Homo-oligomer: A and B are copies of this chain.
Amino acid sequence: MLVNQTFLRAPGPTPIPQQVSHAMNEPMIGHRSSSFAQLFADTSERLKPIFGTQQPIFIVTASGTGGLEVAVDNVTGAGDEVLVVVAGAFGDRFAAICEKHDLVTHRLNVAWGEAVCPNELKQALQSYPHVKAVLLTFNETSTGVIQPIQQLTAVVREHTDALTLVDGVSCIGGVAAKMDEWDIDILVTGSQKAMMLPPGLALISASKRAWAIIEKTKASSFYFDLKAYYKQWENAMTPYTPAVSLIKGLQAVCEMMEEETLDQVFKRHELMKEMTRAAMKALHLPLLTNDEVASPTVTAVKAVEGLNVDTFRSHVNKQYGLTLAGGQKQLKGKIFRIGHMGYCSPVDILTTVSIIEMGLLDCGLTIQLGAGVKAAQEVYRNDISNTCK
């Protein structure tokens, strides 16, 4: 690398905006102080439109995976039946959590890179009519597929009384979520993806229907028992010492999103997706997913003949400071992934594409420098209808 400049385009963690860093650096405050209570109440309230809910949002000090376990542990008990849609590594992890809790776990396996079709889900529900919960991955980080959550929850509601537990870790804050309108029962996200923060927080909300179950369920975990969080939420506190600096940062994130407007945040993510996909197509790189199901936050690009994707990733990292992600589990060595979420702009996509082009050429692929950038620029200019007057 010529200068020590880095471009973090993994699908989380993501770069941190300077004003968020500043907020996290404010002098530490006690978590039983009125200052903290104000911070917590304000931040929790401002998260509601991001989740699309009027329900309380709880903040748990944990990775996203911890948040997913909160969802499972608070509404099920050993022996309960659940249905998990598994369309990638994170659906697989959601199912593994259920298995760890000794649930009778039915997996609806979907090809990695595809979305589940509502009809398939309907059939699975007919096969397993007694499931207590249906677990869905809103945005499958490992493949770059966004699932049709609204349609899926509608199918669940039509055919069963099961709760819907939704892993929104890699998209909430980057795509519109309407938890209440779409009848999602538990929605979980993490801090380090479209929420523009360092990792360390899980954010969780539960519907009234879910709460009726939570109140009757004995959570197996002490730390993850949502009832304790609810009790302290009423005092604008958390039951255990919260990650105060991250919550300060979260408040700053909410301010930034409000300033940009949520609608514009979501349009920006859609635009970055379109730019990324147009660039990869112009470079004749095959995409793992179809346009219809492509994630606004992460794009998976397939290896082509002559390209070792992991060598390529390592090269662009060392030479140009660009971090891309590789494939996970069955996709290891078969794809690379570009994160375009959170604190990421259309211009950042141009930068990313230009480095990818140089890297591909460095690695021996025959590509036309600038072709991907041009395609992305065209999408960008078309979107903003920019004419200099």
Query: In the assembled complex, which residues on chain B have CB atoms less than 8 Å from the CB atom of A24?
Result: 24-25, 198, 245
Query: In the assembled complex, which residues on chain B have CB atoms less than 8 Å from the CB atom of A16?
Result: 25, 27-28, 245
Nearest chain B CB to A325 CB, angstrom units: 7
Interface residues on A, range: 35 or more
Partner among B12, B15, B28, B200 whose Cβ is within 8 Å of the Cβ of A61: B200
Nearest chain B CB to A148 CB, angstrom units: 26
Copies in the complex: 2
- The answer to whether B223 and A13 touch across the interface, beta carbons within 8 angstroms, is no
Query: In the assembled complex, which residues on chain B have CB atoms less than 8 Å from the CB atom of A307?
Result: none
How far, in whole Å, are A198 and B243 apart by their CA atoms in the complex?
7
Most B CB within 10 A of own CB, among A10, A28, A192: A28
Q: Is the interface of A mostly helix, strand, loop or mixed?
A: loop
Query: In the assembled complex, which residues on chain B have CB atoms less than 8 Å from the CB atom of A65?
Result: 222-223, 239-241
Binding site for B on A (CB under 8 A): 6, 8, 10, 12-16, 21, 24-25, 27-33, 61-66, 69, 73, 96-97, 100-101, 190, 192, 198-200, 219-225, 239-246, 317, 323, 325
Given contacts A13-B29, A100-B225, A198-B245, 16 further A-B contacts (CB under 8 A): A24-B245, A31-B199, A32-B325, A61-B61, A61-B62, A61-B63, A61-B200, A63-B240, A64-B240, A66-B240, A96-B222, A100-B220, A192-B244, A198-B246, A200-B245, A223-B224
